[in-house]
Amino acid sequence: MELVCPAGSLPALKAAVDAGADWVYLGLRDETNARNFAGLNFDAAALAAGLAYAHAKRRKVLLALNTYPQAGTWERWMRSVDLAATQGVDAIIVADLGLLDYAHRTHPGLELHLSVQGSATSHEAINFYQQKFGVRRAVLPRVLSLAQVEYAIRNTAVEIEVFGFGGLCVMVEGRCMLSAYACGDSPNTMGACSPARAVRWEETPAGLESRLNGVLIDRYAPGEHAAYPTLCKGRFEVEDETYYAIEEPASLNTMELLPEFVRMGVRAVKIEGRQRSPAYVSQVTKVWRRAIDAALAEGAQFAPRPDWMAELNRHSEGSQQTLGAFSRPWK
């Protein structure tokens, strides 16, 4: 079982490699990737340097081309696939059917991974992508239970990758329209949920307010931790109560499930956070490297160490952790 870690910059890539990542995933500096924020991501020169660093240490690099090209921008995505093949990227993460077809036909030696943005939630969908485009690995959306993950693994030859730690999405990835509703631009095409241009902060007599394209997302009391505004994690008035009506700010942490992942045949565990700092990447990768190694060695006897959980809690959104959809005790 491999560890897949994020890199929003060359220093973050080096931090992930040095801390024990098997794969590092990254994006280019445009809307071809789903973390299209200013100051983030790689140009061709930084990509070449990152590949050289990772390959020298026998680690692999994934290029995320996980948004959906439109008729007027199609060539940009094609050029990005060509760049990945030319530079020697180990695999690309793709969601769009047309782009998968282009990559499969034009660069048959380039390994293809199905992005979580492809929204494949069943083995039938995963097998379709394998049969049509030769997809080798699929990243599952964060809405499936353990039983559903296991059922998919049993019924496909495609490698299955699951998210293990980081930001949690309440929707099936690739199908959410909340940010598009507020901002006008879909993250699926522009590469940014709650783009920075739409974010505003304002001190008011009622407290610090965060807005997304004018929409009030949250209001914070003095000393209260303020989170980046996204519609799914805002507080709303519902029947005279104000609370997190859609989703509470919390980070997914599946470390206690590692023995189950091993038993089921999960091929890789993915850490979310390309927008995070190199220090975050280094610290989280080190903890997960130790945990995965221990789980592989100890089997069913594995249990997360308290110091590991404490370290991850420091990096959790809202200082809260959850098993998300993996845990459904009522089913």
In three-state form (DSSP H/G/I as H, E/B as E, the rest C), the secondary structure along the chain is CEEEEECCCHHHHHHHHHHCCCEEEECECCCCCCCCCCCCCECHHHHHHHHHHHHHCCCEEEEEECCCCCCCCHHHHHHHHHHHHHHCCCEEEECCHHHHHHHHHHCCCCEEEECHHHCCCCHHHHHHHHHHHCCCEEECCCCCCHHHHHHHHHCCCCEEEEEEEEECCCCCCCCCCHHHHHHCCCHHHHCCCCCHHHEEEEEECCEEEEEECCEEEEEECCCCCCCCCCHHHCCEEECCEEECCCCCCCEEECHHHHHHHHHHCCCEEEECCCCCCHHHHHHHHHHHHHHHHHHHHHHHHCCCCHHHHHHHHHCCHHHCEECHHHCCCCC
For tokens 């380039």, the residue is: 110
The yes-or-no verdict on residue 317 having pLDDT over 90 is no
Which pLDDT score is estimated for 102? 98
Q: Look over the chain and give the mean of its residue pLDDT values, rounded to a whole number.
A: 92
pLDDT tens digits, one per residue of 174-204: 777 888 888 888 788 887 788 888 899 999 9
Q: Please report the pLDDT score of residue 226 as a whole number.
A: 82
Going from N- to C-terminal start, the domains of the chain cover: 2-168+250-326, 186-243
pLDDT-based confidence at residue 43 (cuts at 50, 70, 90): very high
Residue 321, pLDDT above cutoff 90: no
Q: How far apart are CA 210 and CA 200, in angstroms?
A: 6
Tokens representing 176 are: 């959410």
- Tokens, residue 199: 């974010």
Which of 98-102, 191-195, 265-269 bottoms out in mean pLDDT, i.e. has the lowest?
191-195
Of 19-23, 94-98, 250-254, 286-290, the poorest mean pLDDT is in: 250-254
pLDDT of residue 205: 92
Higher pLDDT, 313 or 317: 313
| % the chain with pLDDT above 90 | 72
Mean pLDDT of 271-282: 94
CB 85 within 8 A of CB 132: no
Order across the sheet with 215-220: list the strands. Answer: 199-204, 207-212, 215-220
**Those residues with Cβ within 8 angstroms of residue 37's Cβ, 6 or more apart along the chain or in another chain:** 192, 195, 196, 275
Rounded mean pLDDT, 216-234? 87
User: 2-168+250-326: what fold?
Assistant: TIM Barrel (3.20.20)
Task: Say which amino acid occupies 134.
Answer: G
**pLDDT higher than 80, residue 170:** no
Structure tokens at 315: 């990096």
Residue 158 binned pLDDT confidence (cut-offs 50, 70, 90): very high
Task: Tell me what pLDDT residue 169 has.
Answer: 75
Residue 318 pLDDT level (bands cut at 50, 70, 90): low
Please give the pLDDT value at position 126: 98
> Does position 329 have pLDDT exceeding 70, yes or no?
no
Does position 280 have pLDDT exceeding 90, yes or no? yes
Regarding predicted confidence, which is higher, 290 or 328? 290
At 230, the pLDDT band (50, 70, 90 cuts) reads confident
What pLDDT band is residue 296 in, cutting at 50, 70 and 90? very high
* Confidence at residue 319, expressed as pLDDT on a 0 to 100 scale: 62
Inter-residue contact 208 to 201 (CB < 8 Å):
yes
Give the bridge partners for 111, in sequence order.
91
Is the pLDDT at 3 greater than 70? The verdict is: yes
Q: Per-residue confidence at 80, pLDDT binned at 50, 70, 90?
A: very high
